[in-house]
Structure 1
Amino acid sequence: MKPPHLLLLEDEVPLAKILQESLQKRGFTVTHAPDGQQGLELFRRQPFDICVVDVMLPLLDGFSFVREIRKVDGQVPVLFLTAKSQTQDLVQGYASGGNDYLKKPFTLEELVLRLHELLRRQPPKENLSETLLVGRYTFLPQKQELWLDKKLHAKLSYRESELLLLLVQHRHQVLERKTVLLQLWGDDGFFQARTMDVFLTKLRKHLREDPSVEILNIRGVGYKLLA
């Protein structure tokens, strides 16, 4: 099996060298970029299976880098390396299109575990190429677009698109809160739950033009999409 190709964006050269050598010993092919702009140029030239991105980068910060790559690839998993852990910082990271975060300092074992988990959770590509009807809306997961009456209604963030896809795949069924958190965030802790609430609020605003479409809270259990 071809080893996963990882793009590492880290401006601390000694740390980057250690990570690159260690990850290569553990079966990854690693390409390193010391700033966000160089990383973006590399990403546009070749495909990567996963990205590890430091938040504080020169020229183009990590959040901005991910927002740019999400314009062309809504699927590649992204793990942020950050010294921050406040709820608002996590929300910003997920909103930009990140899948997970790891707070510095961290162990190599934890990093490798998170990377394998993100790769394992990758949905089949064919699931993202569908055109899905949600009431009067047309949802294009691959393009992260929501159309209404043949007009582009909303350009969804990567995380909004992931969450809506999961709800649509389980429409008219109760989707457990813990299941959503573990599948999309890999963690059902307090910060992730608060972050998910933010994205559910955003989705409800996008869908409010059609009264027949509702995301119900099933108290103490989870959610149900009616459409």
Structure 2
Amino acid sequence: MANPRKILLAEDEPALGQIIKESLETRNFKVLLCENGDIALKTYQTEMPELLVLDVMMPKKDGFTLAKEIREIDDTIPIIFLTAKSQTQDVVEGFTIGGNDYLKKPFSMEELIVRINNLLSRTKEQKHSETIEIGHYTFNFPKQTLQFKIEEKTQLTHREAHLLFHLIKNKNKVLDRSLILNKLWGSDDFFNARSMDVFITKLRKRLKQDSNIEIINVRGFGYKLIC
């Protein structure tokens, strides 16, 4: 049997959350159940799920707000919204934020499973062509791999991949230190800043085989990827 596909489920109704979790796990999914948006964001940052199922109405951080924050750092992960809202403007808002699908409560588990499988299948097809050329390197952000010329691919960590993605998006421009700390670490405090410095050092080592690539420290502002 194939390895379980990892799904993050954010649902504040304990009974419903458990029903969805158990139903999906019988279909060979690994489900990370979170009771509110704050926990869901932290779980997303550490667990690298392949798909998000987000209840819209949640305490601390609602599904729409959570999706907005995740879309700022990841524009590829599929998102399905679950909601009791039925107004057209709510559906429009969900898709505008970056949702891929919208399921109104009550819903059947079979329908949810079909929608999940469709999105994962579509995402798998897209990933094969989602590569970025940077100097003599090929970076595949969805798969989180970095390859120098025809050498073996290097598997990056979740944070390494996201940090490199943002550096490349801002190539030859300064990447604001505070902005990226808040996006990837959740805050720009001293300890997170030291952690980011460690990841920058790791990326420099990953990219050292191409002398035309350099990550420089712009004191007081952030980092710049030069290529």
Q: Normalising to structure 1: TM-score of the pair? A: 0.55
Aligned to 2:75: 124
Residues 71-150 of structure 1 mapped to structure 2, 5 A cutoff:
79-80=42-43, 94=46, 97=48, 112-113=60-61, 117-121=65-69, 122=71, 123-125=74-76, 130-150=130-150
Conserved 8 A contact 1:173-1:225: yes
Computed over aligned residues only, the root mean square deviation of the Cα atoms, in angstroms, reads 4.0
Paired letter, 1:119: A
Conserved 8 A contact 2:168-2:225: yes
Distance 1:153 1:46, change over 3 A: closer
Conserved 8 A contact 1:20-1:32: no
Conserved 8 A contact 1:6-1:51: yes
Once residues 176 and 26 of structure 2 are traced to their aligned partners in structure 1, the CA distance between those partners, rounded to angstroms, is: 35
Deviation by residue 1:20-42 (Cα, 9 ceiling, x = unmatched): 53696xxx787457xxxxxxx93
Paired letter, 1:170: N
Once residues 142 and 208 of structure 1 are traced to their aligned partners in structure 2, the CA distance between those partners, rounded to angstroms, is: 22
- 5+ residue gaps, structure 2, are 1-6, 50-57, 78-125
Quick one: which of 33, 36, 42 aligns to 2:25?
42
For the residue of structure 2 that corresponds to 1:179, the secondary structure is: helix
Paired letter, 1:125: T
Once residues 51 and 120 of structure 1 are traced to their aligned partners in structure 2, the CA distance between those partners, rounded to angstroms, is: 20
State the aligned residue count. 158
**Is 1:163 aligned to 2:177, yes or no?**
no
Conserved 8 A contact 2:12-2:34: no
Conserved 8 A contact 2:160-2:203: yes
Rg larger for: 2
Distance 1:211 1:118, change over 3 A: farther
Once residues 172 and 18 of structure 2 are traced to their aligned partners in structure 1, the CA distance between those partners, rounded to angstroms, is: 42
Conserved 8 A contact 1:144-1:156: yes
Once residues 114 and 200 of structure 1 are traced to their aligned partners in structure 2, the CA distance between those partners, rounded to angstroms, is: 32
Aligned to 2:213: 213
Deviation by residue 1:102-138 (Cα, 9 ceiling, x = unmatched): xxxxxxxx97328765422223228976211111100
Q: Give the % identical residues.
A: 34
Conserved 8 A contact 1:137-1:147: yes
Distance 1:187 1:215, change over 3 A: same
Once residues 97 and 125 of structure 1 are traced to their aligned partners in structure 2, the CA distance between those partners, rounded to angstroms, is: 12
- 5+ residue gaps, structure 1, are 9-18, 34-40, 54-76, 81-92, 99-109
Once residues 20 and 214 of structure 2 are traced to their aligned partners in structure 1, the CA distance between those partners, rounded to angstroms, is: 44
Paired letter, 1:45: N
Deviation by residue 1:63-114 (Cα, 9 ceiling, x = unmatched): xxxxxxxxxxxxxx7624xxxxxxxxxxxx85x659xxxxxxxxxxx97328
Aligned to 1:21: 13
Once residues 26 and 66 of structure 2 are traced to their aligned partners in structure 1, the CA distance between those partners, rounded to angstroms, is: 18
Aligned to 1:172: 172
For the residue of structure 2 that corresponds to 1:113, the secondary structure is: coil
Deviation by residue 1:164-223 (Cα, 9 ceiling, x = unmatched): 000000000011101111222231122221221121111111111111111110001101
